Amino acid sequence: MFNKQPSPTTKLAALSARLTTLQSIATKWHNTISDSDLVNTNGTLKVLLANSIRDVNAPLAGTKPSKVLAASESEKKKKIDTEFTNAKLNVQFDSTYAREMAYQLSIVHSMMKTLYSSSNSKSLKNLLATTDNNLSPIQKSFEKFSASKE
């Protein structure tokens, strides 16, 4: 009875923050990737994330991100950076990167699915469907790479 759900705007802001975090990670670690197929997949991801962030941020124009959300995403980024640093030192970077990015994109998919089902806005639903359709093949590429290396 007292379980209040976050507003669609709050959910959209969380999605935007996560996409921005992933873009930062994909950019930072891009030159560390050694497998050419994975480099191509990551390059495509960077472009798609930039476009997705632009599109998701349009309905958020004029709203400030929550400090709690910003801190949470910053902590998430630090944790992933630490994982990737360790993987690089252990010469397991590519497989670790692919596995983690596949996982992070699955979280993004879940966030979009939740937002899609809770929204009444046709334009937002179209945006989410397009973004998901663009990111799903990239997620599958990361999963396929990760599975082939384990």
Tell me if residue 142 falls in helix, strand or coil: helix
Provide the pLDDT for residue 72.
94
| HSE-up of residue 85 (Cα within 13 Å, Cβ side) | 6
Output the average pLDDT for the chain.
92
Question: What is d(CA 150, CA 145) in angstroms, rounded to the nearest whole number?
Answer: 9
What is the Cα–Cα distance from 6 to 66, expressed in whole angstroms?
13
Strands annotated E in 16-123: none
**In the prediction, which pLDDT does 64 show?**
80
Average pLDDT rounded to a whole number, residues 130-134: 94
pLDDT score recorded for residue 150: 59
pTM of the model as a whole: 0.92
Q: How far lies 120's CA from each of 8, 111, 130, in Å? A: 9, 16, 16
What are the tens digits of pLDDT across the range 10-65? Answer: 899 999 999 999 999 999 999 999 999 999 999 999 999 999 999 999 988 878 87
Match 């921005």 to its residue by tokens. 20
Whether the predicted pLDDT of 89 surpasses 90: yes
